[in-house]
A and B are shown apart, each in its own frame.
Chain A
Amino acid sequence: MKGNFKAAAALLVLALVVPILSQCSSAEKSATAKPDAKATASAPEPAPLKVGDKAPDFTLPDQNGKKISLSQFQGKENVVLAFYVLAFTGG
């Protein structure tokens, strides 16, 4: 329970900060839970992204099942993309 609370508090901070970032829309991408059997250990690691790189586009379902793409914000809004490990399960 303690872990859950910690994760929720951290996310809340983000939720509170986002409205202040008037120029930034926030796409919160949560991460993880069940380790699946087909792990990705054998796949080669892509080079980590750096400042100045183009952010790879993606399409992922949000909490309501609506598909959200990074490209839909292009030319319109700045985006804060927060990868949150174990957002629901606590971490």
Chain B
Amino acid sequence: MDSSPANRAFAKQIGVTFPLLSDFNRKVSKEYGILNTEHGFANRTTFVVNKQGIITHIDKDREALDPTGAHNACSLMAHREAEQKK
């Protein structure tokens, strides 16, 4: 929900190499059902989405601070893809 210029400054500050998107009007946070309407912020959540656009893993709140779950979900998808190619 930070504005794009705020994200640009932040991205520069920490040197990110991936897109840092801005949901300034909270539309997407709402669509994903993670907007906390009490204070208007999104809850910290990580979604892993496969190539078919299906959600394969969700980490919420404290879990979302630890990338292990998302990492494992990605490894699993990579493994399945490799299996399918055999």
Contact = CB atoms under 8 A, between A and B. Distances in A.
Interface residues of B, number: 63
Nearest to B17: A15
B21 A62 contact: yes
B7 A8 contact: no
The B interface is mostly helix, strand or loop, or mixed, namely: mixed
Contact of A62 (B19, B44, B47, B53): B19
Contacts of A1: none
Interface string B15-40: 11111111100111111111101111
30 contacts: A8-B13, A15-B15, A23-B81, A26-B19, A29-B23, A30-B1, A32-B2, A41-B38, A48-B34, A49-B47, A55-B47, A55-B49, A55-B54, A60-B28, A62-B7, A63-B16, A64-B4, A68-B19, A73-B51, A74-B53, A78-B50, A80-B48, A80-B74, A81-B48, A83-B34, A83-B46, A83-B47, A84-B44, A87-B2, A88-B9
Interface of A: 8, 10-15, 17-33, 35-36, 39-41, 43, 45-58, 60-66, 68, 70-71, 73-89
Interface of B: 1-4, 6-11, 13-23, 26-35, 37-58, 64-65, 67, 70-71, 74-75, 77-78, 81
